[in-house]
Copies of this chain bind each other. A is one copy, B any other.
Amino acid sequence: MSHTVTLAEARTVIAAATAEAEKIGQPMNIAVVCAGGYLLAFERMENAWLGSVDIAQKKAWTSRAFDIETGTLGTLSQSGDQFFGINASNDGKVMIFAGGVPLLRDGKVIGAIGVSGGLGAQDQAVAEAGAKTIK
């Protein structure tokens, strides 16, 4: 069993995420990174926000870089909280709002999915739909 998500798995992750995005009627940018944090696959659905191309990839990176959902990291990073200012690090790659979810196999992080194109709850739902295809 590989310690990183494979390209074949990444395609499945994106397909499941896309299906969820279509179900809720919001076009999304969807990115998958490998265990090293590098981009493995990406798709922008028709009419998805252009500004989210970058955000989706950075949510995936952030989720792998800190082995955490970006929404959870966000709750720790508001003004007055213990990680406030963390997004000044790593050359602007740290995203601190919902839509990045680690991909797990046997309790180990093997990559991550990042979704951007809607409100926070929508991005999160689409990311989770993709992430749960990993066995």
A residues neighboring B (CB under 8 Å) = 36-37, 49-52, 54-55, 58, 62, 64-67, 74, 77-80, 82-98, 119-120
Bound CA–CA A58/B74 (angstroms): 20
Residue contact A88 to B82, C-beta cutoff 8 Å: no
- Write out the residue numbers on chain B whose beta carbons fall within 8 Å of the beta carbon of A119: 82
Residue contact A66 to B52, C-beta cutoff 8 Å: yes
Bound CA–CA A90/B50 (angstroms): 10
Bound CA–CA A116/B40 (angstroms): 27
State whether A85 and B89 are in contact (beta carbons under 8 Å apart), knowing that A52-B66, A64-B50, A66-B52 are contacts in the complex.
Answer: no
- Write out the residue numbers on chain B whose beta carbons fall within 8 Å of the beta carbon of A91: 54, 92
Chain B: CB-nearest residue to A55: B89
CB distance from A34 to the nearest CB of B (A): 12
- Write out the residue numbers on chain B whose beta carbons fall within 8 Å of the beta carbon of A52: 65-66
- Write out the residue numbers on chain B whose beta carbons fall within 8 Å of the beta carbon of A51: 62, 65-66, 89-90, 93-94
Bound CA–CA A119/B119 (angstroms): 28
- Write out the residue numbers on chain B whose beta carbons fall within 8 Å of the beta carbon of A90: 51, 54-55
15 contacts between A and B (CB under 8 A): A49-B65, A51-B65, A54-B89, A74-B84, A74-B85, A77-B85, A78-B84, A79-B79, A82-B98, A84-B96, A84-B97, A85-B95, A85-B97, A88-B88, A88-B96
